Amino acid sequence: MMNLPIPQLTIRLYGDPCLRAKCEPVEEIGIVEKLLVEAMIDTMDRHKGIGLAAPQVGVNKRILVADIGDGPVAMINPVIKEIKGEAVMEEGCLSIPEVNVNVTRPAVIRVSYTDLNNRPRERKFKELMARVILHENDHLDGKLITDYATAEELKKYAEVLKKLEDLQQKKSG
């Protein structure tokens, strides 16, 4: 990787239309995509996250990064090939601060994706890493944790969600 400065990315918040868009596949992995991934990992780390998807930084591309402590994994055009088991866990999101929702997800997944060296990969992930990848992959399809929320959870967080939407309106308008 060239020794270029890492661009500072801004995390988009709940209410931003880019969080609801279905992302486009990446056609070619070049320096721009590699720099984006590096900046996404930096942004995820600065915000103490364990996953980040491109639309969360305003990029409509099928790219995600995840790191639960074993080193970052970058996935270009990920496709969930297989799912097994089921687990419920509370999830948060860098784009929806202060909101935590119980989400049921598969416990084990098999994912095919392209790595940053343009090589096709297929790997199995379980437990927390599987959950993070599924959460970030949801972002690539415009799905948020609030879509999994119960009516009770939505009511509990209504004020926070409204504040985030208002903040987003001010930023874009």
- Is 40 part of a structural domain of the chain? yes
Total domains in the fold of the chain: 1
Single out the residue of 135, 143, 75 nearest to residue 111, CA to CA.
75
User: Is residue 163 exposed (0-12), middle (13-18) or buried (19+ Cβ within 10 Å)?
Assistant: middle
11 located within any domain: no
User: Residue 171 has what pLDDT?
Assistant: 75
Decide if pLDDT at 55 tops 80.
yes
Cα radius of gyration (the chain): 16
pTM score, two decimals?
0.94
**pLDDT tens digits along 94-144:** 999 999 999 999 999 999 999 999 999 999 999 999 999 999 999 999 999
Looking at residue 8, its pLDDT comes to: 86
Q: Under a CB-based contact definition with an 8 Å cutoff, are residues 38 and 6 in contact? A: yes
Q: Which amino acid is at 143?
A: K
Does residue 84 belong to any structural domain of this protein? yes
Residue type, 32: V
pLDDT at 1 over 90: no
Q: What percent of the chain has pLDDT over 90?
A: 90
Instruction: Let me know if residue 1 belongs to a domain.
Output: no
Q: What is the mean pLDDT of the chain?
A: 95
State the pLDDT at residue 102.
97
Q: Which residue has the higher pLDDT, 171 or 28?
A: 28
Residue 54 lies inside a defined structural domain of this protein: yes
User: Could you list the active site residues?
Assistant: 136
Kindly state whether residue 122 falls inside one of the protein's structural domains: yes
What range does the domain containing 89 cover? 17-172
pLDDT at 9: 94
Q: What is the mean pLDDT of residues 34-60?
A: 97
Would you say residue 5 lies in a domain? no
Domain containing 139 — which CATH number? 3.90.45.10
pLDDT confidence bin for 170, thresholds 50/70/90: confident
Residue 8 lies in a domain: no
